[in-house]
Amino acid sequence: MTKETEKLAPEWVKNLRRLMDEQGLNPRKLSLLAGLNATAVRDMMEGRSRFPRYDTVQALADVLGTTPAMLMSSRKTTTEIQAKGAPFGHNIEILAEIIARLQETAQELGRDLNAREFAAMAATIYRRLQDSGEDISHKQRLSSIKPQVYDLLEYETLRHKSAK
């Protein structure tokens, strides 16, 4: 990657490169450690994959010892997340996961959500997760998002069909 290309790279690619350099990882090694195909990281860094799926970002973040929100954020946002502490960072992670899963599942089900529907569903799932209490771990909360998104979208799809 040339210096000019590096300047034009999205912030998350710059974060990815910095973290890889800090940990002595090359694109192939990081790809394999994250359970991705051998050229996945290289393709991202060269701009062939500009918007990776959330699962991909999560796998990379796990290997790099960070979070998807920190990996995908600008330096300013990263600094803000670090300054506000772990609970704020966990909330960002939960919201990012909800949004990613809601988009993916809506697309899978062929549902075109308007902004209001999308926001209402995301808020509903976020509230449910917050109401689940302190008795479950952050990872358990994150893993419970996809089933909740799917159930909510299925319910809303059935509700819209019966209203017609």
Query: What would the pLDDT profile of 44-91 be if each residue is shown by its tens digit?
Result: 998 887 778 888 888 999 999 888 878 888 778 778 877 888 788 788
Place of tokens 């960070």: 66
* Structure confidence at residue 17 (pLDDT): 92
- For the chain, the residue count is 164
Residues 100 and 139 in one domain: yes
In a domain, 148, yes or no: yes
In a domain, 52, yes or no: yes
Q: Determine the Cα–Cα distance for residues 151 and 23; give it in Å rounded to an integer.
A: 40
* Nearest one of 123, 105, 127, 118 to 55, comparing CA atoms: 105
Identify the domain boundary among 26, 53, 75: 75
Q: How many domains does the chain have?
A: 2
* Structure confidence at residue 6 (pLDDT): 57
Range of the structural domain that residue 127 is part of: 85-163
Q: How far is CA 23 from the centre of its chain?
A: 22
Residues 67 and 11 in one domain: yes
Residues 31 and 96 in one domain: no
Residues 127 and 154 in one domain: yes
Segment 90-115 shows an average pLDDT of 87
State the CATH number of the domain containing residue 19: 1.10.260.40
pLDDT band at 131 (very low <50, low <70, confident <90, very high): confident
On whether the pTM is more than 0.75, the answer is no
